[in-house]
Copies of this chain bind each other. A is one copy, B any other.
Amino acid sequence: MVAIRSALWKSLRSYQVYGANTNVGKTIISTALCKSLQRKFPDQRIWYLKPVSTGPLEEADDCHVRKFVRGIQADCLFQFDEPVSPHIAARQSSGNVPSDLELVQSIYSKMSQYAAESTPGWALVETAGGVHSPGPSGIPQADLYRPLRLSTILVGDSNLGGISSSISAFESLHVRGYDVDLVVLFVNEKYKNHEYLVEYFSPKNVTVLPIPAPPEWQPNETSDRQCMADYYDSLSESASMDQALDFLTASHDRRIHDLNSMASRANRVIWYPFSQHQSISPSTITTIDSAYGDYFQTLDPAAKEDPHRPLLNTTFDGSASWWTQGLGHGNPELSLAASYAAGRYGHVMFAGTVHEPALTLAESLLDNLRNSRLTRVFYSDNGSTGIEVAVKMALRAAAVRNGWDASVKEVEVMGLRGSYHGDTIGSMDCSEPSVYNEKVGWYRGRGYWFDYPTVKMVNGTWTVEVPEALQYELGPGSQYASVSEVFNLSRRQLESSAQRYRAYIQKIIHKLVTDDKRRFGALIMEPVVLGAGGMIVIDPLFQKLLVDVVRESRDIFEAGGMGNSQQVVASEWTGLPVIFDEVFTGLYRLGRFSSASFIGVEPDISVHAKLLTGGVVPLCATLASKSIFEAFVSPDKSDALLHGHSYTAHAIGCTVARTSISSMIDMERNGSWDDFKASWQDSHGPEIWSVWSKEFIAQLSTDPCVAGAVGLGSVLAITLKDSAGSGYTSTVSQDLQARLAQTSGRDWNIHSRVLGNVIYLMSSLTCAKEDVRAIEKFVASCLQR
């Protein structure tokens, strides 16, 4: 597993020592700290750890520390003889070169040993060179060690130019989410960097400790050693050192105290989304210290009782943080992109102005969606607002086409049963009445929602299941040799079921519009998968034919408008404007840039969010066709789409989105997912793949507790058998959820979300294959209990 725990124990105050530069005195300052700690805390143990050392053994930093701090345990994990940067030394070395993972795991394991000792203590972990000096693999240390997220002591630079290098080093750590508690540097009376830095860091709550520079080197070894010993002794007696150690002590204690208090404080002041507070108590709230890659660092409440137990567990973020994560938590590229935009623009109001990130993101979306209809991009802040925009667009286009004036308010949408499009009233109204909305004052579903066949693997076979009530009209469903066959729509359109689907849809439309005189203004669907509706895969053939039939039914829908007789250009909407809600399904969540491509349909309006910003900040883009756009163009201002949020097209969101999208496109181009794809290869239809293995899905689907399973892109959905009936109030999946979350005897667990009797997992797009496989194993073992 790539999962690494952040290093935090109550019994072990641990700090990582980074340098603002090379040769700023990291080892001397580390030694001074160790010596002073030893003097101040005679009952505690002091450990010094050098993960990677280069140069002759006898000159190594750990030797220096041992020399001057009697009785200290000073360890070095990897030693290279060449006195060069670790990445060059590693390249030249014939010996054991650790991978990043091994290196970080070795540090954690060493620290675990320290923490397990009965005596509490302190550990200093000294890095090599500056914060971005490369580790053995070549990756900059600040990135290499980030998973451990140790509290940090930065050794400042007292030389000429050292103000700059100290601040820049601090910033490089800061943008990676490190907490720098203390800056220590030598006093240099000529440059007085320490005076400047004390003032500079004070408002940032970073303590700066200036200490006297070490004595000059003495040619006589004995007297040199004595000089240094005296230096360390006198430092360890100084009041300012004493204060700094008090500060570190307090800082470590406060961090732990805060972590331990957060759940009860949250329970007092937070009103949680989608949560019944009667079932919430401090013990049900997960405290998250930080996150990296696919993992949260979660507080282990049991550590409160045992100071030697690690406080933080590694928890797989099994909902991809509500389906938003694509490039991993704490991704430095996205962090830098966000800060660049903040530094260049902040936010720039977007009515009548243009800035580069908003423009180039719009162009990139239009280019990459490859939908010949879409020509315009409207920004808003999240999926729900983006759907409101889409519905406003569609309803107006329909109203203009059909000559409905402002008095006509009873316009509805067509959709799919079980859909979810967001929580603002306009989005809620696009879904049928359900437990999500029945008690919401102003909700009233305005639409008709089709029932439909679904797809999952059942007992080892890909199956299209038709709801019982529809079987008379749609047939009994069917089975396929592979998921690619299910998505092979050009072939399936020739099957008899296609005729039945088509006839059924036509019949319903006719009844609703012609017989019941209901007025519709949009067809709105999540392509391929209903997300919040239960991770249900809709039969793509049904979705395709639904769009086809609606578009062919101009004579029905546009009775007051153009009718079938009038010629339209190919990109013109007909029948109803078709809205695809790709908020969840798009941007590679299901393995492809556009989820519409699975069903071969070009919607007139397309909504994108969640993965859009790689899981960093909210942003939504609603794309529309020319024929939708033109319904709003007139000499009259009041005909415009008078919608907008203050932060519309905020530069940070657009910049992060641009970075995120191009990273994902590059990953696809560079074959980053080829390993996953290989196992899914199938010549009987289009490329359908998942990070979850075919074998695992098959295994799940034959489990006696499982009604069916699906893996698509990074999504895994397991439908559990539930004798009490499925639905939002089902609890059967909660048992499995609890087993996935248990931590005893494991060093990682899984945070998952359930939807009724469906439990799902979702990885980022950067999750390592071995992690996915390990998770599969764990899931299987939890099922079998």
Name the segment of A558-566, A633-641, A773-781 touching the other chain.
Answer: A633-641
Is A308 an interface residue when CB atoms closer than 8 A count as contact? no
Counted per complex, copies of this chain come to: 2
Which residues of the other chain, B, contact A258 by a CB distance below 8 angstroms?
356
A146 CB to closest chain B CB (Å) equals 8
A775 CB to closest chain B CB (Å) equals 17
Expressed in whole angstroms, the Cα–Cα distance for A130 and B330 within the complex equals 28
Asked if A617 contacts B424 (CB within 8 A), the reply is: no
Contact among B332, B346, B435, B521 for A330, CB-based, below 8 A: B346
Given contacts A335-B343, A346-B616, A383-B645, contact A278 B634 (CB under 8 A): yes
Is A21 an interface residue when CB atoms closer than 8 A count as contact? yes
A22 CB to closest chain B CB (Å) equals 3
Contact among B87, B176, B265, B388 for A359, CB-based, below 8 A: B265
Asked if A134 contacts B196 (CB within 8 A), the reply is: yes
Asked if A177 contacts B344 (CB within 8 A), the reply is: yes
Is A158 an interface residue when CB atoms closer than 8 A count as contact? no
Mark interface residues in A424-454 (1 if CB within 8 Å of B CB, else 0).
1111010000011111111010100000000
- What are 21 contact pairs spanning A and B, CB under 8 A? A132-B163, A164-B169, A168-B171, A177-B345, A270-B376, A271-B624, A273-B641, A274-B351, A277-B632, A324-B647, A338-B339, A346-B616, A351-B753, A382-B646, A392-B442, A395-B442, A396-B441, A423-B642, A424-B425, A441-B521, A617-B652
A433 CB to closest chain B CB (Å) equals 9
A289 CB to closest chain B CB (Å) equals 8
Is A80 an interface residue when CB atoms closer than 8 A count as contact? no
Given contacts A161-B22, A271-B376, A388-B423, contact A342 B348 (CB under 8 A): no
Minimal Cβ-Cβ distance residue in B for A383 = B646
Asked if B84 contacts A644 (CB within 8 A), the reply is: no
Expressed in whole angstroms, the Cα–Cα distance for A278 and B286 within the complex equals 52
Contact among B165, B352, B647 for A21, CB-based, below 8 A: B165
Contact among B296, B322, B352, B363 for A272, CB-based, below 8 A: B352
Contact among B175, B285, B325, B366 for A339, CB-based, below 8 A: B175
Which residues between 601 and 660 of chain A lie within 8 Å of chain B, taking CB atoms? 609-610, 615-618, 624, 629, 632-648, 650, 652-653
Is A276 an interface residue when CB atoms closer than 8 A count as contact? yes
Given contacts A274-B351, A446-B442, contact A132 B164 (CB under 8 A): yes
Beyond A171-B175, A277-B632, A323-B646, 12 additional pairs, beta carbon < 8 A:
A131-B164, A132-B166, A134-B196, A174-B339, A272-B352, A338-B338, A338-B342, A347-B615, A395-B442, A409-B442, A617-B650, A618-B650
Mark interface residues in A400-442 (1 if CB within 8 Å of B CB, else 0).
0000001001010000000000111111010000011111111
Is A399 an interface residue when CB atoms closer than 8 A count as contact? yes
Asked if A643 contacts B329 (CB within 8 A), the reply is: no
Which residues of the other chain, B, contact A641 by a CB distance below 8 angstroms?
271, 273-274
Asked if B439 contacts A639 (CB within 8 A), the reply is: yes
Which residues of the other chain, B, contact A336 by a CB distance below 8 angstroms?
171, 174-175, 339
Given contacts A271-B376, A342-B616, A643-B423, contact A161 B23 (CB under 8 A): yes
Is A38 an interface residue when CB atoms closer than 8 A count as contact? no
Mark interface residues in A303-338 (1 if CB within 8 Å of B CB, else 0).
000000000000001010111110011111011101
Which residues between 327 and 386 of chain A lie within 8 Å of chain B, taking CB atoms? 328-332, 334-336, 338-356, 358-359, 362-363, 366, 375-379, 381-385
Contact among B190, B263, B287, B354 for A262, CB-based, below 8 A: B354
Asked if A129 contacts B164 (CB within 8 A), the reply is: yes
Is A494 an interface residue when CB atoms closer than 8 A count as contact? no
Asked if A285 contacts B352 (CB within 8 A), the reply is: yes
Expressed in whole angstroms, the Cα–Cα distance for A265 and B648 within the complex equals 18
Asked if B343 contacts A381 (CB within 8 A), the reply is: no
Expressed in whole angstroms, the Cα–Cα distance for A343 and B437 within the complex equals 36
Asked if B638 contacts A440 (CB within 8 A), the reply is: no
Asked if A354 contacts B617 (CB within 8 A), the reply is: no
Is A499 an interface residue when CB atoms closer than 8 A count as contact? no
Is A508 an interface residue when CB atoms closer than 8 A count as contact? no
A447 CB to closest chain B CB (Å) equals 11
Asked if B399 contacts A441 (CB within 8 A), the reply is: yes
Is A144 an interface residue when CB atoms closer than 8 A count as contact? no
Is A475 an interface residue when CB atoms closer than 8 A count as contact? no
Asked if A638 contacts B439 (CB within 8 A), the reply is: yes
Asked if B354 contacts A161 (CB within 8 A), the reply is: no
Expressed in whole angstroms, the Cα–Cα distance for A354 and B290 within the complex equals 10
Which residues of the other chain, B, contact A266 by a CB distance below 8 angstroms?
354, 359
Minimal Cβ-Cβ distance residue in B for A622 = B271
Expressed in whole angstroms, the Cα–Cα distance for A89 and B631 within the complex equals 66
Given contacts A277-B632, A278-B634, A395-B442, contact A385 B352 (CB under 8 A): no
Contact among B169, B265, B753 for A363, CB-based, below 8 A: B265
Is A275 an interface residue when CB atoms closer than 8 A count as contact? yes
Q: Nearest 5 pairs between A and B by C-beta?
A: A273-B644, A130-B164, A177-B344, A22-B161, A395-B441
Is A686 an interface residue when CB atoms closer than 8 A count as contact? no
Is A288 an interface residue when CB atoms closer than 8 A count as contact? yes
Expressed in whole angstroms, the Cα–Cα distance for A272 and B47 within the complex equals 60
A589 CB to closest chain B CB (Å) equals 12
Which residues of the other chain, B, contact A290 by a CB distance below 8 angstroms?
344-345
Asked if A192 contacts B88 (CB within 8 A), the reply is: yes
Expressed in whole angstroms, the Cα–Cα distance for A646 and B160 within the complex equals 48
Expressed in whole angstroms, the Cα–Cα distance for A334 and B84 within the complex equals 38
Asked if A190 contacts B84 (CB within 8 A), the reply is: yes
Which residues of the other chain, B, contact A349 by a CB distance below 8 angstroms?
317, 319, 321-322, 324
Expressed in whole angstroms, the Cα–Cα distance for A360 and B228 within the complex equals 45
Which residues of the other chain, B, contact A277 by a CB distance below 8 angstroms?
629, 632-633, 640
Contact among B87, B269, B436 for A375, CB-based, below 8 A: B269
Is A391 an interface residue when CB atoms closer than 8 A count as contact? yes
Which residues between 1 and 59 of chain A lie within 8 Å of chain B, taking CB atoms? 19, 21-23
Asked if B392 contacts A441 (CB within 8 A), the reply is: yes
A436 CB to closest chain B CB (Å) equals 5
Is A537 an interface residue when CB atoms closer than 8 A count as contact? no
Minimal Cβ-Cβ distance residue in B for A196 = B134
Contact among B174, B289, B324, B344 for A646, CB-based, below 8 A: B324
